[in-house]
Amino acid sequence: MKKTELLNDLFSFENKVIIITGGAGAIGSALAELLGNLGANVVITDINQERVNKVASEIQKATGKETLGLVADSTDENQMKELVDKVVAKFGKISGLVNNVGWGAATPIWGSDTEKMVNSYKLNTLSAYNLTKFCMPYLEKEENASVIFSNSRVGNTPSPEFIEYSTAKAALLNMAKSMAVISGPKVRFNTVIIGSVDNGESTLDAGFTMEMLQKINDSIVMKRRGFPADIAHGIMFLMSKAASWVTGVDLTLDGGGRYESKMPKKED
C-alpha cells in the first residue's frame, strides 16, 4: 500500500457515526472537528443549547460532513434514551461513543454532602453507564465499534481537593474496565486519563486562578498544559483501526506528568 493510502485506511472514520457527550466543550468540540475531518458524521450533545448549535454548525462548515448538535442533559436517563433514538432515526447506526461529559468543583474534603456526592456520580459516572447501555445494541452491529471514557488524573490519584469529582471518576475508570472484559469481541472500551488541559472558563469556574495555572505549566514535564487537540488526538487513535486490538486500557495524556505529585492547594 502507498504511504498516504495506508495511513488513510488506518485512520479513516468515513461512514462512521460517533456520539460525543459534552460535545460543545473544549475537548469534545476539538474531537468532533478532528473526527469530522477524518470522515465521520459526528453527533455532539450538550446541555448548553446555544453552544451546541453553534459548534455543530461550525464543524459542519469546517469539515463538510453532516454534523448534528442535540441538546440533552446527560444526567437524565430518558433524554439519553431519546438521544439514541434520534441518532438512529437520522443516521441509521451508531459506530462509536465518547462519554466525555464531566466536571467537578474543588471542595474542602469535609465540605461535601450526600446531594453533592450523588450529583457528581450522576454527571460523571451514571451518564456514561446509561448512554453506553442504550447504544450497545447498535454498537454491536458495527465493525471496530468503540466507546471512550474521558477520565482525569483525579480518578486514579488521591485527590482530597476534589472529593466529589475524584470518587465519581474513579468509579468511571472501573466501569470502563468491567465493560471491556465482558463485551468483546464486538465493542472496545478504553479510557483516556486527562491531565491539565486548557478549557478556558471551565477551569476558572472550578476554582483555579491564573497564578495556579502558571504554576501547573511550569511543573509539567513537557512544560505546558494540554491543548484540547492533544486529547482529541489520543482519543482518535484509540478509536481507529490502528488500535483494533486495544481494549480495557487507560491511556494517560498529561504532558508526561508533573514533577510534583500534589495538586496545588487552593490557598497556595
Partner 1 sequence: MSLTNLFDLKNKVAIVTGGGNGIGKASALILAQAGAAVAVSDLKLSDAEEVAEEIKKGGGKAIAVECNVTDDDHLVNLVERTVKELGGVHILINNAGGGGGGRESPFKIDVKRFAWVFELNLFSAWRLSQLCAPHMKDGGYGSIVNITSMGSINKSPNMSAYAGSKAALNHMSANLAYDYGPFGIRVNCVGPGATKTAALASVLTPEIEEKMLAGTPIKRLGEVEDISGAVLYFAAPISEWVSGQVLFVNGGGVQTLD
Least spacing, CB of residue 251 vs partner 1, in Å = 6
List, in sequence order, the alpha helices (H) in the chain. Answer: 3-10, 26-37, 49-63, 77-91, 114-121, 127-139, 163-183, 201-205, 210-219, 228-239
Terminal Cα-to-Cα distance of the chain (whole angstroms): 55
Least spacing, CB of residue 63 vs ligand NAD, in Å = 19
Task: Tell me which residues in 172-191 interact with partner 1 (CB under 8 A).
Answer: 180-185, 188
- On whether the CB atoms of residues 253 and 193 are closer than 8 A, the answer is yes
28-57 footprint of partner 1 as x/- string (CB under 8 A) = ------x--xx-------------------
Element (H, E) at 99: strand 96-99
Least spacing, CB of residue 64 vs partner 1, in Å = 13
The window from 49-57, 93-101, 208-216, 232-240 that contacts partner 1 (CB under 8 A) reads 232-240
Whole-Å CA distances, 105 to 5, 166, 203, 266: 45, 10, 9, 12
The answer to the question of residue 136 lying near partner 1 (CB under 8 A) is: no
The answer to the question of residue 110 lying near partner 1 (CB under 8 A) is: no
Local structure of residue 100 (DSSP, 8 states): -
Least spacing, CB of residue 2 vs partner 1, in Å = 8
Local structure of residue 244 (DSSP, 8 states): T
Residues of the shown chain interacting with partner 1 in the complex, contacts defined by CB under 8 A: 1-4, 6-8, 10-11, 34, 37-38, 180-185, 188, 221-224, 226-227, 230, 233-234, 237, 240-249, 251-257, 259
